[in-house]
Amino acid sequence: METANKPYQITQEMVVWAYRLFLDREPESLYALEEKIKSANNIQALREMFLTSEEFKQNNPQAFYTVSLLGHEPPLPIEQATDLQALFSHIQGVWNQLGASEPHWSVISAEKFKSSQIQETEDEFYKSGFHDVALLLRTLERNGVDPGQLKTCLEYGCGVGRLTCWLARNFSEVIAYDISKSHLQLAENYLKESNLENVSLRHLDQPQKLKDLPSVDLAYSLIVLQHNPPPMIHLVIREILKCLNPGGVAVLQVPTYRLGYQFSLQEYLSASTTKKEIEMHVLPQKEIFEIARHENCYPLEVLEDNKAGLTYGHRSNTFVIQKER
């Protein structure tokens, strides 16, 4: 039996059987086996690696029918703020640092996407965006929105272009924003290499620029808003909904509950002077519904998406919100 004092050593045979049991296939390469062995230091880590993989999720959707909340959870003490410059400056500092040191890993935090390995895994990294954009298209169709009628797409938090390149293949014009110049430079390089010329990359270097977002038919943000404190999430969603054309749609992923989460502006700014790491935040559903109502928008769908994990007390939602015509 594996114990904390004496864990099993992960072997190639264990990883091969994990592929067979969880993915119902053989490993794609010896390199893939070696990467799994490097990344998993015990059996639990190996198991979680496979259970949380996109391939397992796609092949076993029934495994993710979980209840994130039971209904008796308390409200979250979240303080709003009017002066957002200090919050923005801190977030920008974190992502500028990550953009310079670990740009791909900061988007998908897997060891194989660290700077030391990205030359070998870059294709896999960018291909991973295909599934997310395919899911976006299906989500629109399920809600009676024809993606072919949406000509302009705004992506908030484009990073190094993992999703941008697939959005560009599906929409006539893509306007992609990011807070980090280093991420944007890598996105520009990849888009040029891919001969994708219908993307305009824009640097969001101050919060005031959010008020100048262009009018678009579609706005999309995935695994981005969660890295901003609640007042910033609130501002970004509000300005994104403002910029939608009549009948336009926003598809936004936001964690909306985490048991024990709280946000105090003073405490956050005091701690943020020393912390330079990826943060995870939430904005309750109630707040998002209020923003939508204020901006003459209404929700078409609220999907529980598991982007915050499968742990009880953690809930993330994908909101499909349409502007009134």
Over residues 298-308, the mean pLDDT reads: 91
Q: What is the pLDDT of residue 254?
A: 98
Question: H-helix or E-strand containing 255?
Answer: strand 244-258
This prediction has a pTM of 0.82
Q: What is the pLDDT of residue 5?
A: 45
Q: Which residue type sits at 229?
A: P
pLDDT single digits (tens) 170-200? 999 999 999 999 999 999 999 999 999 999 9
Strands 199-203 and 244-258: unpaired
Q: What is the pLDDT of residue 53?
A: 82
| Structural domains for the chain | 12-64 (no CATH), 85-323 (3.40.50.150)
Q: What is the pLDDT of residue 276?
A: 74
pLDDT single digits (tens) 26-42? 998 888 888 888 888 88
Strands 173-178 and 244-258: unpaired
Q: What is the pLDDT of residue 93?
A: 92
pLDDT at 51 over 60: yes
Q: What is the pLDDT of residue 7?
A: 60
Between 63-77, 164-178, 183-197, 223-237, the lowest mean confidence (pLDDT) is in 63-77
More confident position, 130 or 274 = 130
Do residues 156 and 224 touch, judged by C-beta distance below 8 A?
A: yes
3-class secondary structure per residue, 48-84: HHHHCCHHHHHHCHHHHCCCCCCCCCCCCCECCCCCC
Question: For a pLDDT cut of 70, what percent of the chain falls above it?
Answer: 94
Q: What is the pLDDT of residue 64?
A: 64
Dihedral of CA atoms 274, 278, 283, 288 in degrees, nearest 10, equals 120
